[in-house]
A and B are shown apart, each in its own frame.
Chain A
Amino acid sequence: MDTHLVEEVAALTPGDYKSDVKPIWCPGCGDYSVLAAVTRALANMGLARHNTAVVSGIGCSSRIPAYTSCYGFHGVHGRSLAAASGLKLARPDLTVLVFGGDGDGFSIGGNHFLHACRRNVDMTYVVMDNQVYGMTKGQASPTTEADWCESKLTPEGPGVNPIQPVSLALACGANFVARGFSGDPNEVARLIVEGVRHPGFSVIHVLSPCVTFRPEQRGWKSTVHPYGRQPTDDPNEAMRAVLEDDGFGLGIFLAGNRRPFAPAGTAVKTIQQIEEGFAV
């Protein structure tokens, strides 16, 4: 992150980044911890609220912008990365964070995820993955196991293999890829800070249990484990290592060196000069 983005702010606390709006989330939802991690990360970085934009799509986790006291944009389902890319490209002075869930990001928004990774605009994408559509009351998402039979929509199970967000992000060229667990908000906050500070597109995959439709995910706290490797700046090495990942390894997989996509025009012509080009 460019140093000029950080303004001296009179020591804001995490609470200062929270709005007065009560989340719609169920008691015990992992997303509360992610919200806590976000406000902690923002306070740690001392980002000015008015220079920070929080963008999301649709879904439980996408409700997060209004729960912060920053500028927020709550768009349509699956298009958060497109809206955020436009915002950051047009306003490179802002710090842009994008939030959403596994359905929003990898199903309806899958194409934008692919292209956001390869475009590498300098922003940070936090995906709260609970392997289910919560807001529509429990349907399989692209990260749901093929044999999960608890949905009325797919009572025999979705029958297709889940995607692995971390390896997908690496394959598509994301410049910073990490995984966190909502049960450890301090670590998630650290990953968000690292992601924001790292130039280019940062993907932070956060395992965030849905206690209502996937109550078995309460057990994730004993399934997650440190990834056990040092972050690499080599995407190939990260990709090889991720092949051994069981989907629950936590930490930073890649902190790459790709240059962010930040085209900028320079005013070298006036409207009058351009107009002269039409003259007969």
Chain B
Amino acid sequence: MKHSFIDQYSGLDSFVHRLDPRTKIIASIAVILVILLTPPGSWKAFAIYLLILLGWVWMARLPFKYVLKRSLVILPFVVMIAIFIPFFKEGNEIWGWNVWAWHIGITYEGLAVLVNVIIKGWLSMLCLIVLTSSSKFADLLQGMYRLKVPLIFVQIISFMYRYIFVLIDQAMRMQMARDSRNFGVNRWVIFKTMGNMIGMLFIRSYERGERIYAAMLSRGYTGEFPTTSRLRFRLTDACFATALAMLLICPAIFWW
């Protein structure tokens, strides 16, 4: 089945793609942290962050349309949680009406929180998209390991990444077979069927895990993973980090 959207642009060659993954991970964490720390309503600051992020997207040669489309992932959460805030937050009412015995009103404070959350959420999402579309997943993992994430954890993730697509395909085949057999008519049978599917998937995955482990043992696996690629922190990394840090400090200077 199709998984083409994953790692679609991480194979490009650009200035950003060539940066050390550690630089990009730390830079992303810094950008998101600064976005979170910015007080609500600092429009100039948010505009500057947006310019920084769009500049980053441009330097990474990522298509803007793709980045914007991916950033809509945030919408369901906004609809679920944040959309109610203007109606329930206490404060000055800017708009209200009565529906029978109920009073519905939108408060200025509530609207401010909503806008703040949407802007911060969307900017952070842009940052995460640039990070993940401008680095290969294996490089990100190596960067994580070099940033002191426990080796066993990084290895679990790298194995997971190898087998995710195999197991997703397996799960999707089961789902297709299920849907073609009049599934979903009886509510109680749904849970039984889902239980059987997931149980089968577990047993198959477990047996696959055993086979993989046996195959690796027979090829001399000792629990270590030698790698050939070396990460290097170059002059460009230093320049990128300094420029980014200076740009991020700018808004703080504006407020003072």
Please determine whether chains A and B interact with each other in the same assembly: no
